[in-house]
Structure 1
Amino acid sequence: MAKIKVPKLEASTFRGWTFVLVAGAVLTVLAMIDRGGLTGLATGRTGCVMTVTASEVNIRSTPGTELAPVGLLRQGDETDAQRVITNGFRQLAGEGRWVLDASLTPTAGSRC
């Protein structure tokens, strides 16, 4: 049977570009979660959490269908939202994120 060898962690492991790239990737994911950049992850920080009721709904950069979608939410996903509704689109947390309001429903306890 083949053995798997795990390298020892040494001080040199945490030097150079490898460490910079790994640390950068981890910090990027944390920043995206903090600002609502990852779809379907609600934090409740806006006080308004919406659940997607349609099978799929496009995230748009403006409250309309003129521009191509910038993301997608699936049925059951929860997302932080604002109380702003324009042209039938609800503004989500974060910059340039709008979803058709008829595809969403507030979660229990939300102030939407």
Structure 2
Amino acid sequence: MAKIKVPNLEASTFKGWTFVLVAGVVLALLALLDRGTFGATATGSTGCVMTVAAAQLNVRPTPGTESAPVDTLKQGDQVDAQRVVTNGFRQLAGTGRWALDQSLVPRAGSSC
């Protein structure tokens, strides 16, 4: 069985600008992941980009509250949406994605 060799870490490894740069990159990536930037970024493919105004917004498979949420968006997330609003719910890009319209605000320049 092959052994995994771990390099010997010395105190000098964690000094200076190299450490500051590496720590900054790691923290920035963690912040992006925690913020949800990788999961809720609009592409503008529908011409209508909406920004979530509520602290938390449930995405449902139908335009109503009868079904359980399929996704949750956070305040500030931007999503592609359709111009279709039914029962107060706006259809989002993709199949079976509806969110409460009053919790969404069109991004400047969008055609919603």
Q: Pick the TM interval, shorter chain.
A: 0.5 to 0.7
Matched residue of 1:102: which SS?
helix
Query: Cα offset for 1:93?
Result: 0.2
Unpaired runs of 5+ residues, structure 1, are 5-37
Larger radius of gyration, structure 1 or 2? 2
Conserved 8 A contact 1:39-1:72: no
- Kindly state the Cα deviation for residue 79 of structure 1 after the two structures are TM-superposed: 0.2
Amino acid at match of 1:78: Q
Seq. identity, %: 65
What letter matches 1:65 in structure 2? T
1:68-87 aligned at under 5 Å gives the runs: 68-87=68-87
- 3-state DSSP of counterpart to 1:84: strand
Shift >6 Å, 4+ stretches: none
The 1:89–1:39 alpha-carbon spacing in structure 2 relative to 1, beyond 3 Å, is farther
Alignment of 1:7-86 (within 5 A): 39-86=39-86
AA aligned opposite 1:3: P
Q: What is the alpha-carbon distance in structure 2 between the residues aligned to residue 74 and residue 49 of structure 1?
A: 15
Report what 2:99 is aligned to. 99
User: Is the contact between residue 40 and residue 73 of structure 1 (CA under 8 Å) also seen in structure 2?
Assistant: yes
The TM-score normalised by the length of structure 2 is: 0.66
What are structure 2's unaligned runs of at least 5 residues? 1-5, 9-37
In structure 1, distance between residues paired with 2:69 and 2:103: 15
1:3 aligns with 2:3: no
